[in-house]
Amino acid sequence: MSDILPVLMYHSIGPIPAGSRRRSIFVGERAFERQMALLARRGYRGVTMDEAHAVLQRGAPTREKLCALTFDDGFLDNVTVALPILRRHGHRATCYAVSERIGQRNRWSEDVLGVSSPLADEGALREWIDAGMELGAHTRTHARLTTLDDARLEDEVGGGKRALEDRFGLRVSQFCYPWGAHDDRVVDAVRAAGFAGATTIERGRARMGVDPLRVPRVHVLNQHHLLQFWLKLETRYGDRR
């Protein structure tokens, strides 16, 4: 039994685009395959954030080895590359989509990354949902929420939720803070919008009874080899780096 449920944070799965100034968010296909295989070999079942939320909020150790898998921004390769691998190893995951950027590119981070990449279109996200995966919300435009006035904050958070629910005809219960930016006012807005849970970019493995709107995650980056991945998953190494 364990009182820890790691939540892994990914972005793009595939090759590093030419000209990228920040390689870390692009986890290679082969590396991701090995990580998902290792999870299965170690007895973990990859779950969505909605599933993780139900377990974490019980506040009691889980008998099953669970690991939540999350993908920020809704890249197209989450569906074309990651989804077949997830299915092959029996895992489920949550993809956080930016409601007004579906089918476009992640221009919001082009200054940081030096490149932009395609985001999943509606058809790809429906394929993701039909495969039993979860769709979460990542605001309307990937805005830095702590900089917004109250009206714009509600529109980005609540409006993004409603847009996804209307477009895909489903309940969206999980949220992710763009850029990791959140404070008490932003958390209150996420709660008021009706989200059950929200993930941050704070480093650490989630523990039973964690604040459901401030869930920390384990960062999985391009430079992490398989031993580091295992250490992040099963030791305190993942709580620090």
CATH number of the domain enclosing 205:
3.20.20.370
| Predicted pLDDT at 2 | 85
**Is 158 among the domain residues?**
no
Instruction: Give the model confidence (pLDDT) of 28-72 as tens digits.
Output: 999 999 999 999 999 999 999 999 999 999 877 888 999 999 999
CB 172 within 8 A of CB 194: no
Domain count across the chain? 1
What's the domain range around 69?
Answer: 4-127+199-239
**Is 119 among the domain residues?**
yes
**Is 174 among the domain residues?**
no
**Is 213 among the domain residues?**
yes
Q: Which of the residues in the chain have pLDDT under 50?
A: none
Cα–Cα distance measured from residue 64 to residue 44, given in angstroms and rounded to the nearest whole number: 8
| Predicted pLDDT at 237 | 84
Whether pTM > 0.85 for this model: the answer is: yes
Cα–Cα distance measured from residue 166 to residue 186, given in angstroms and rounded to the nearest whole number: 23
**Is 115 among the domain residues?**
yes
CB 74 within 8 A of CB 176: no
**Is 162 among the domain residues?**
no
Cα–Cα distance measured from residue 60 to residue 5, given in angstroms and rounded to the nearest whole number: 11
**Is 225 among the domain residues?**
yes
Q: What percent of the chain lies above the pLDDT cut of 70? A: 98
**Is 27 among the domain residues?**
yes
